[in-house]
């Protein structure tokens, strides 16, 4: 090929470069889509889809996502969460021992990865013994959120002096013979009583209203693109759960009689729109053992601190059933929330995938997909034989 004598190879290359740059500039100014398709930011968006508010990129990003991710049809999933906006007055609460450290690390890591790394809600760790430096270091390294470590006052933890120890011992022996889990354990009873009526009195929790209880070795399966604490606040919920099930009857043999006595003496404290039908199949005569599994709880501490629950807890405490039997904090909290609060104030977090051995709740359908849940949707306790979810749902039908 021959070139024009004044068109030297060098001038030819210069002309081509100038033409390409001019064309690119013209198209960028006149057509937004072209400009964005050719920019580096679009490559980034393949991995971090934009929030719905960035309207100009929606069409192109949606097209690219089809190739990059099978779940990309939910553009809000990876949208930046509203961590800068309004936050609830809330904290995580984690009661454990120093030797629970490995399980505690696993639980905190799971919560941080799936929710809190974007929200930075504080963590409060509580223990009946001082936490070791090693414990504090291994937890502190997992999060940017504030972490505090508290010692439980002795009077909030140990078996009170007025408990008849001989009677309590007979109760423990009986339960050991029946092979009831933790039937012979006093520390387990201390823990149940503390979780029922004392944790929200701890000085480190005084400044907070909502809490999310976390235990060692639990798993949170799904990413959350909203704030459950704010959900509780905005919908005026006082208690929430992911798993509900039946209690071991021998651990709460006289609990319902005590509850009935309380209801008889304090009818004004029983909420008219309560959820008695969650607790009883015969209108309140007999307890059906249903309760919310309290190792997961997001709840309102002002409800526990209020006059109705205070009176309820004090009444049950005086019966001694935390030590003579083995009343768990799960039935205590569940019965209180069911009778002292309107049923509309209790929430099932269907979209929060959660496991505490030996049961799990795994969301299904769109919630499973949108949450990118790391659990098998066919493995969920929801409608198993001993689940009480059907009874909860029945309250609203
Ligand atoms: N500081 C302290 N924490 C305890 C004690 N006993 C239990 N806990 C904590 O209280 C919570 C509930 O105790 P768990 O042993 O998990 O009771 P559970 O969930 O009924 O039973 P498993 O998890 O099946 O053992 C956990 O966060 C424990 O770490 C104790 O004696 N001291
Ligand atoms: Mg546990």
Q: Which tens digit of pLDDT belongs to each residue from 263-302?
A: 999 999 999 999 999 999 999 999 999 999 999 999 999 9
Number of structural domains the chain divides into: 1
Please state, in angstroms and rounded to a whole number, the distance separating the CA atoms of residues 124 and 13.
67
Please state, in angstroms and rounded to a whole number, the distance separating the CA atoms of residues 393 and 395.
5
Task: For residue 328, give the ligand 1 atom closest to its CA.
Answer: 20
Tokens linked to 35 = 């400009």
CATH of residue 113's domain is 3.90.550.10
Q: Would residue 215 count as lying in a domain?
A: yes
What pLDDT is recorded for position 102?
Answer: 99
CA of 295 to the centre of ligand 2 (A): 6
Task: For residue 187, give the ligand 1 atom closest to its CA.
Answer: 31
Is there a contact between 168 and 323 (Cβ–Cβ < 8 Å)? yes
What pLDDT is recorded for position 85?
Answer: 82
Q: Would residue 81 count as lying in a domain?
A: no
Q: Would residue 18 count as lying in a domain?
A: no
CA of 97 to the centre of ligand 1 (A): 8
Tell me which residues of the chain have a pLDDT lower than 50.
Answer: 1-7, 12-17, 19-80
- Ligand 1: residue of 215, 333, 354, 355 to mutate (most ligand atoms within 8 A of CB) is 215
What pLDDT is recorded for position 205?
Answer: 98
What pLDDT is recorded for position 83?
Answer: 52
Is there a contact between 274 and 342 (Cβ–Cβ < 8 Å)? yes
Q: Would residue 258 count as lying in a domain?
A: yes
Q: Is 297 a catalytic residue?
A: yes
Please state, in angstroms and rounded to a whole number, the distance separating the CA atoms of residues 273 and 255.
22
| C-alpha distances out from residue 185 to 12, 251, 293, Å | 90, 12, 20
Give the residue whose CA is nearest to atom 18 of ligand 1. 295
Give the residue whose CA is nearest to atom 19 of ligand 1. 295
DSSP codes of every residue in 305-324: HSHHHHHHHHHHHHHTHHHH
CA of 216 to the centre of ligand 2 (A): 7
Q: Would residue 356 count as lying in a domain?
A: yes
| C-alpha distances out from residue 334 to 93, 130, 154, 244, 317, Å | 18, 30, 26, 10, 16
Q: Would residue 6 count as lying in a domain?
A: no
Task: Give Cα 4 distance to the centre of its chain.
Answer: 75
Tokens linked to 273 = 């729109």
CA of 54 to the centre of ligand 1 (A): 46
* Contact residues of ligand 1, CB 6 A cut-off: 95-97, 100, 127-128, 187-188, 191, 215-216, 295, 357
Question: Three-state DSSP class for 240?
Answer: strand
Please state, in angstroms and rounded to a whole number, the distance separating the CA atoms of residues 223 and 21.
44
Ligand nearest to the CA of 214: 1
- Pick from 209, 219, 211, 225: which is nearest to 75 by CA? 225
- Ligand 1: residue of 92, 93, 94, 96 to mutate (most ligand atoms within 8 A of CB) is 96
CA of 233 to the centre of ligand 2 (A): 27
Instruction: Tell me whether residue 336 is exposed, middle or buried, using C-beta atoms within 10 angstroms of its C-beta: 0 to 12, 13 to 18, 19 or more.
Output: buried
- Can you give the residue range of the structural domain that contains 282? 90-394
What pLDDT is recorded for position 144?
Answer: 97
| C-alpha distances out from residue 57 to 26, 45, 73, 79, 129, Å | 19, 9, 14, 13, 55
Give the residue whose CA is nearest to atom 9 of ligand 1. 96
Tokens linked to 347 = 């929430």
| C-alpha distances out from residue 386 to 114, 123, 198, 243, 350, Å | 28, 32, 29, 11, 18
Beta strands in 175-323 (DSSP E): 210-213, 219-220, 239-241, 244-246, 290-292, 297-300
Q: Would residue 229 count as lying in a domain?
A: yes
- Ligand 1: residue of 92, 94, 97 to mutate (most ligand atoms within 8 A of CB) is 97
CA of 273 to the centre of ligand 2 (A): 32
Please state, in angstroms and rounded to a whole number, the distance separating the CA atoms of residues 275 and 271.
9
> One of 247, 297, 325, 370 is an active-site residue; which one?
297
- Pick from 53, 28, 30, 51: which is nearest to 38 by CA? 28
What pLDDT is recorded for position 371?
Answer: 98
Ligand nearest to the CA of 131: 1
What pLDDT is recorded for position 258?
Answer: 99
Q: Would residue 290 count as lying in a domain?
A: yes
Instruction: Tell me whether residue 60 is exposed, middle or buried, using C-beta atoms within 10 angstroms of its C-beta: 0 to 12, 13 to 18, 19 or more.
Output: middle
Ligand nearest to the CA of 193: 1
Instruction: Tell me whether residue 140 is exposed, middle or buried, using C-beta atoms within 10 angstroms of its C-beta: 0 to 12, 13 to 18, 19 or more.
Output: middle
Ligand nearest to the CA of 182: 1
């Amino acid at each position: 090929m021959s070139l024009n004598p004044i068109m030297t190879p060098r001038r030819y290359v210069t002309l081509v470069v100038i033409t390409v740059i001019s064309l690119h500039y013209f198209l960028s100014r006149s057509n937004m889509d072209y400009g964005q398709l050719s920019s580096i930011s679009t490559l980034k968006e393949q991995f971090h889809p934009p929030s719905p508010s960035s309207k100009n990129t929606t069409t192109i990003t949606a097209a690219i996502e089809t190739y990059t991710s099978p779940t990309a049809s939910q553009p809000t999933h990876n949208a930046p969460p509203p961590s800068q906006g309004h936050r609830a007055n809330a904290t995580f609460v984690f009661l454990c021992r120093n030797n629970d450290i490995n399980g505690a690390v696993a639980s905190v890591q799971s919560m941080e990865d799936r929710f809190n790394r974007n929200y930075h809600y504080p963590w409060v760790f509580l223990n009946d013994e001082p936490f070791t430096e090693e414990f504090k270091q291994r937890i502190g390294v997992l999060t940017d959120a504030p972490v505090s470590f508290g010692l439980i006052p002795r009077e909030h933890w140990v078996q009170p002096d007025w408990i008849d120890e001989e009677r309590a011992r007979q109760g423990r022996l009986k339960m050991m013979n029946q092979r009831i889990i933790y039937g012979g354990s006093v520390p387990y009873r201390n823990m149940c009583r503390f979780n029922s009526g004392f944790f929200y009195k701890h000085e480190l929790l005084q400044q907070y209203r909502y809490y999310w209880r976390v235990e060692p070795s639990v798993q949170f399966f799904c990413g959350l693109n909203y704030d459950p604490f704010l959900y509780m606040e905005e919908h005026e919920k006082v208690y929430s759960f992911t798993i509900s099930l039946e209690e071991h009857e021998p651990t709460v043999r006289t609990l319902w009689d005590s509850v009935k006595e309380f209801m008889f003496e304090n009818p004004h404290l029983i909420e008219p729109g309560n959820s008695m039908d969650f607790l009883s199949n015969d209108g309140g005569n007999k307890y059906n053992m249903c309760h919310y599994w309290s190792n997961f709880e997001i709840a309102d501490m002002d409800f526990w601190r209020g006059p109705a629950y205070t009176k309820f807890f004090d009444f049950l405490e005086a019966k001694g059933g935390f030590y003579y039997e083995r009343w768990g904090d799960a039935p205590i909290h569940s019965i209180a929330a069911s009778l002292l609060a309107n049923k509309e104030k209790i929430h099932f977090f269907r979209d929060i995938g959660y496991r505490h051995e030996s049961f799990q709740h795994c969301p299904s359908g769109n919630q499973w997909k949108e949450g990118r849940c790391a659990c098998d949707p066919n493995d969920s306790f929801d409608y198993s034989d001993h689940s009480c979810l059907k009874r909860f749902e029945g309250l609203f039908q």
